Amino acid sequence: MVNLREKLYQMFILGTEGGNLDSALENNVGGVIFFTKDIQSVEQFKNLISHIKNKSKTSPFLSIDQEGGRVERTENIHSGKKYLSAKFAYEKGIDFLNKQTQQIADELNSYGINLNFAPCVDTNTNPNNPIIGERAFSSSVDEVIEGGILVSKIYRENNIISCAKHFPGHGDANADSHLTLPKIDLTLAEMEKTHIKPFKALVESGIEMVMAAHLHCTCFETQIIPTSLSQKALSYLRDVLGFKGVIVSDDMVMKGVSGFGEVEACEMGIRGGLNLFIYRYCDDKTLNVIETVYKRALSNEELFKNIELSYEKIINLKKVYGLIN
C-alpha cells in the first residue's frame, strides 16, 4: 500500500540541485526536471537518468523544457546546432515545424525523457513581453492553435507527454514571472477570445497536462493571487474548458509565487486544484515544505482528499504512457 506521504511526494517534480535527490527518490518523488547544467555529455546524462530510475520507488516523470531557441536544455551536447524557437520554426512552415519537433522527440527518447514542458501556447500580443516573445508560435490565435496541436500530437505519437503552457496565457504580460508577479488586466471575454482559446483547443485535442502560470489575472481574482494558486482559475480550466488531466505549476521558486510563503503557497495550490508542483531545487527547504504539508494533511480533510485525487491523476497518466503497469 502507498501511504499518504508517498502519495504527496508523487505530486512533486524536483531539480537535481540541493543534495537531497536520492532521499527524495526513496520517498517516492514524482519526477525530476533537468536543466542545462545537468546535461554535460550524452554518457553523463544517460548515467544520471539511469541512477534516478534505479533509485525511484515509482517510475518517475523525467522532464525537461525543450522548446527550442532560448529554451533548450541540451545545448552543451549539440556542438553548435540549435533548434529554432517556436516562432521561427512556425514561420518556416508546417513541414519544418513537423520535422524539427520529430527531431526533438527522437533526441529526448534517446535519453529516456518522457515529459517535455512544451508547447508554449501563449498568444504573444504584447511586443514588449520580456519572457514570451519568440517562444510563442505567433501573435495570431489560430496560428498558435495550429502550432500547438501539431507539436503536442508529435510528442504523443512518440510516447512523450507534452504540456500546454502557460495557462491562462502569458502573452499579454509586461513583466517576467521569474522576477515578479505580472498583472494581466483583461476581461474574461478578452482572455477567452485571444489567450484562453489555444488552451481550449488543446484540451479538446486531448492534451494530458497543462501548466498554470504565476500571473495575477484580474478576470479570475480581484485579490493578488497567482493563477497557479487560484481555485477560481483552476476550476475554470476544469469546469468550463473540461480539462480532465494533470495541472502542473510553473516553477515554485519563481518570484511570481515565492512571496506567498513556501508552505502556504504549496497548500494554496493543493486546495486550488494543482496536481503537480515543479521545484527547481531538491534542497532541505524544499523537502521541508513537503514534510510540513504532509503533517498538516494528516488532520486536514480537504488537503488529504486533494492529495488522493492528484495521486490518482498522476498514476493514471503514468499508466497511459507505459511508465507503470
Q: How far apart are CA 142 and CA 139, in angstroms?
A: 9
pLDDT over threshold 80, residue 218: yes
Does the active-site annotation cover 95?
no
Residue 188: predicted pLDDT: 97
pLDDT over threshold 90, residue 43: yes
Residue 200: predicted pLDDT: 98
pLDDT over threshold 80, residue 80: no
Q: All 3 cell numbers of residue 118? A: 512544451
Q: How far apart are CA 150 and CA 46, in angstroms?
A: 28
Q: What is the 3-state secondary structure (H, E, C) of 16-72?
A: EECCCHHHHHHCCCCEEEECHHHCCCHHHHHHHHHHHHHHCCCCCEEEECCCECCEC
pLDDT over threshold 90, residue 69: no
Q: How far apart are CA 281 and CA 204, in angstroms?
A: 33
- Ramachandran region of residue 69, left (φ > 0), alpha (ψ -120 to 50) or beta? left
Provide the percentage of residues in the chain whose pLDDT is more than 70.
99
Mean predicted lDDT score pLDDT of the chain: 95
Q: What is the mean pLDDT of residues 9-21?
A: 97
- Lowest-confidence region among 28-37, 91-100, 140-149, 253-262: 253-262
Which of the four pLDDT bands, split at 50, 70 and 90, describes residue 42?
very high
Cβ-based neighbour number of residue 256 at 10 Å: 25
Residue pair 165/230 in contact by the 8 Å Cβ criterion: no
Summarize pLDDT for 155-196 with one digit per residue, the tens: 999 999 999 999 999 999 888 888 899 999 999 999 999 999
Which of the four pLDDT bands, split at 50, 70 and 90, describes residue 71?
confident
Amino acid at 291: E
Look-up: residue for cell 544520471?
48
Q: How far apart are CA 43 and CA 265, in angstroms?
A: 37
Dihedral over Cα of 307, 309, 315, 317: its sign: negative
Contacts of 81 (CB under 8 A, 6+ apart): none
Q: What is the mean pLDDT of residues 124-151?
A: 93
Residue pair 121/199 in contact by the 8 Å Cβ criterion: yes
For residue 76, what is the DSSP state? G
Of 78 and 274, more confident: 274
User: What is the DSSP track for 248-267?
Assistant: EEEETTSHHHHTT-HHHHHH
Contacts of 177 (CB under 8 A, 6+ apart): 131, 170, 213, 214, 215, 250, 254, 255, 256, 257
For residue 239, what is the DSSP state? I
Summarize pLDDT for 253-311 with one digit per residue, the tens: 988 898 889 999 999 999 999 999 999 999 999 999 999 999 999 999 999 999 999 99
User: For residue 258, what are the CA distances in angstroms to 89, 150, 163?
Assistant: 33, 34, 22
Residue 79: predicted pLDDT: 60
List 122, 172, 250, 251, catalytic entry:
250
Of 128 and 319, more confident: 319
